Structure 1
Amino acid sequence: MPSPVPSSASAVQPFTMGPALLFCPADRPERFGKAADRSDAVILDLEDAVAPADKPGAREAILAQLGAAKLDPASTIVRVNPVGTPEFELDLQTLAKTPYRTVMLAKAESAEQPRSLEGYQVIALCETAAGIVNAAAIAAEPNVVGLMWGAEDLLASLGGLSSRNDDGGYRAVALHSRSAVLLAAKAAGKEAIDSVYVNIPDLEGLMAESADAVASGFGAKACIHPNQVAVVREAYAPSPEAVAQATELLEAAAAAGTGVFQFKGRMIDGPILKHAQATLRRAGLARDAS
């Protein structure tokens, strides 16, 4: 049975990617509006956050709230069940009746899978060994707009026990997978989303991991609790000092008019200027160094 395709009346809208994405179980419609208000984008979850027996009710809840919650399609993602499952087909039948056109595909494992989501923008969630190995091919698909990786499902697919060491840091295989997804996404010109931080009370650990995500190039980080959103946003927002330094550097580059120059004792070239531009983009002050 072919998957439902959105009608032309429900054209794909550009998706607004913010730094803090918040998962919300799709069977908890009373939380939809709050989750959307407290985050940069809400992920209505039809997969792991919903028990198998509750999935029909979750799909009904998404349809029932359309007239009341008024979630913005440009900042609403729906995580669907994996391709090949009966739940996936039922999820798409529901989505076809909504204005939501950005889909997070759980357990994405091949380039062929996003093709079954014609008419949708796809965030491919690479959270199995096959998904990590095929991340580059998945990212190259035209309707894929981003990649996310999932640590715990990945380790489960490997037969492992935990993605983290006793000190809270990721195991080597998780770090490798995180880097592989980031590189695959960026090589294809797509966005990369960092995995969730499951230790909800540990906001200090979340801040450290979010700061590393920013510095590494992830465009966003997923959250599983509203209290995590402010921490992620703080990590992604450059400090006034960083903005001032980046502005001064780019102004100096414009005045120098050369490819390489010295600034406050440092050699400055193209990559350093790109770092400064990235800082200003995150501050909403993007400017050209030329």
Structure 2
Amino acid sequence: MSGIVLPPALGPALLFCPADRPERYVKAADRSDTVILDLEDAVAPGAKESAREALAASTLDPGHTVVRLNAVGTPDFARDCDAVRRTPYRTVMLAKTESPDDVAAVRAALGAVEVIALCETARGVVNVAEIARAEGVSALMWGAEDLVASLGGTSSRRPDGSYRAVALQARSQVLLAAGAADRQAIDAVYVDITDLDGLAMETDDAVASGFDAKACIHPGQVAAVRAAFAPAAAEVERARAILAAAENERGVFTFEGRMVDEPILRHARRVLGRVSGS
């Protein structure tokens, strides 16, 4: 695979933690695969400076920590970058990424950090293919509520909990752009914390569609996300059998009565890649 990619160890369950709640940092890190220390929406304007001080004083594992920055062009962006420079953290999530220039601004401020571009506005989604190819982008994520708000809408979901068409289009565009640019794709948060069945169904769809991880807003969601990304034993056994059979074949072949070609082999490799420790 070419380009910069998000290390697999960051997923599958990423957990947001308000950066102004340092007493939650360690618990959030322990309960997830990667913690996202959030300087943006999770922090009230009056608490942002104390959040930056808490961030600068933190000592979490840099390999499993991401810092969400306020959007480029906001007064908070430069202050966020100042705080990040005082930490060992080298992966940041840029809120409301709208162009490759936004990514360049992060790199100009912080150097060779990895950037998770959060595309959550109409402009960001429309430009996502160019954003995905920007130097330093390691992953793409999308956000439903900010997107719909940027369009003047009121809700990303129907009363039954399913996404409206515009949200589904944005989700697909971000996933396709990530795949085309060899970047990792992170699915949006599921905001109904108590609806674990709905979360499980949505994460199952994310896995089947090709997302590499899903973001969570509560520790109670992590187990459902991990379970959805963990392949079933039968799926793992079949993937291993297909790959073993391919070692003695050239080109397309038949396995258990079904045609196997390179896309099927890639799927099998991806299944094994989701096995812990493989």
Q: Same fold (TM over 0.5)?
A: yes
- Residues 104-119 of structure 1 mapped to structure 2, 5 A cutoff: 104-118=93-107, 119=111
Whole-angstrom CA distance in 2 between matches of 1:276 and 1:62? 40
**Deviation at residue 258 of structure 1 after TM alignment:** 2.3
2:86 counterpart of 1:97? yes
Q: For residues 209 and 274 of structure 2, what CA distance do their matches in structure 1 show?
A: 14
Residue in 1 aligned with 2:198? 205
CA distance in 1, matches of 2:274, 2:154: 36
Aligned to 1:189: 182
> What corresponds to 2:3 in structure 1?
none
Q: Secondary structure at the match of 1:186?
A: helix
1:146 paired with 2:139, answer yes
User: C-alpha displacement at 1:101, in angstroms?
Assistant: 1.3
Query: What pairs up with 1:63-78 in 2 under 5 angstroms?
Result: 63-64=56-57, 66=58, 70-78=59-67
Per the alignment, residue 242 of structure 2 pairs with 249
Residue 186 of structure 1: CA displacement?
Answer: 1.4
Count of residues in Structure 1 that have an aligned counterpart in Structure 2? 268
Helix, strand or coil at the partner of 1:117: helix
Give 2:266's aligned amino acid: K
Cα separation, partners in 2 of 1:163 and 1:244, compared to 1, 3 Å: same
Deviation per CA, 1:48-68, whole angstroms, max 9, x where unpaired? 00011111111111123x3xx
Q: What CA distance in whole angstroms lies between the structure 2 residues aligned with 1:285 and 1:249?
A: 20
CA distance in 2, matches of 1:96, 1:274: 39
Deviations 1:148-168 (A, max 9, x none): 000000000001111111221
Match of 1:31 among 21, 24, 36: 24
Give the aligned residue type for 1:168: G
For residues 185 and 251 of structure 1, the distance between their equivalents in structure 2, rounded to whole angstroms, comes to: 29
Partner of 2:54: 61
Matched residue type, 1:63: A
- The aligned amino acid for 1:43 is I
Which stretches of structure 1, 4 residues or longer, exceed 6 Å deviation after superposition?
none
Q: Deviations over 1:19-61 (max 9, x none)?
A: 0000000000000000000101000000000011111111111
Q: Distance in 1 between matches of 2:245 and 2:138?
A: 35
**Amino acid corresponding to residue 188 of structure 1 in structure 2:** A
User: Deviation at 1:216?
Assistant: 0.8
Partner SS for 1:78:
strand
Measure the CA separation in 1 of the matches of 2:233 and 2:266: 18
Q: Distance in 2 between matches of 1:50 and 1:203?
A: 25
Please give the root-mean-square deviation of Cα atoms over the aligned residues, in Å: 1.2
Query: For 1:21, what is the secondary structure of its paired residue?
Result: strand
When normalised by structure 1's length, the TM-score is 0.90
**Which structure has the bigger radius of gyration?**
1
User: Equivalents in 2 of 1:167, 1:21: separation in Å?
Assistant: 26
Report the TM-score, using the length of structure 2 for normalisation.
Answer: 0.94
Q: Pick one of 251, 254, 261 that aligns with 2:253.
A: 261
Deviations 1:209-261 (A, max 9, x none): 11111111111000000010011000001111111111111112223x12112
2:255 aligned with 1:236: no
Inter-partner Cα distance in structure 2 for 1:76 and 1:202: 26
- Displacement of 1:17 after TM fit? 2.2
Tell me the distance in 2 between the aligned counterparts of 1:207 and 1:46. 28
Q: CA deviation at 1:177?
A: 0.2
Distance 1:217 1:17 in 2: 16
Q: Give the match for residue 275 of structure 2.
A: 283
Q: Where does residue 167 of structure 1 map in the other structure?
A: 160
SS of 1:122's partner is strand
| Aligned-pair CA distance for 1:280 | 0.7
Q: Spell out, residue by residue over 1:175-205, the C-alpha distance to the aligned partner (whole angstroms, 9 max, x if none).
A: 0000100111111111110000001111011
Cα distance in 2 for residues equivalent to 1:268 and 1:87? 52
Amino acid at match of 1:97: R
Secondary structure, aligned partner of 1:116: helix
Cα distance in 1 for residues equivalent to 2:276 and 2:198:
26
- Which segments of 5 or more consecutive residues in structure 2 lack a partner in the other structure? 1-5
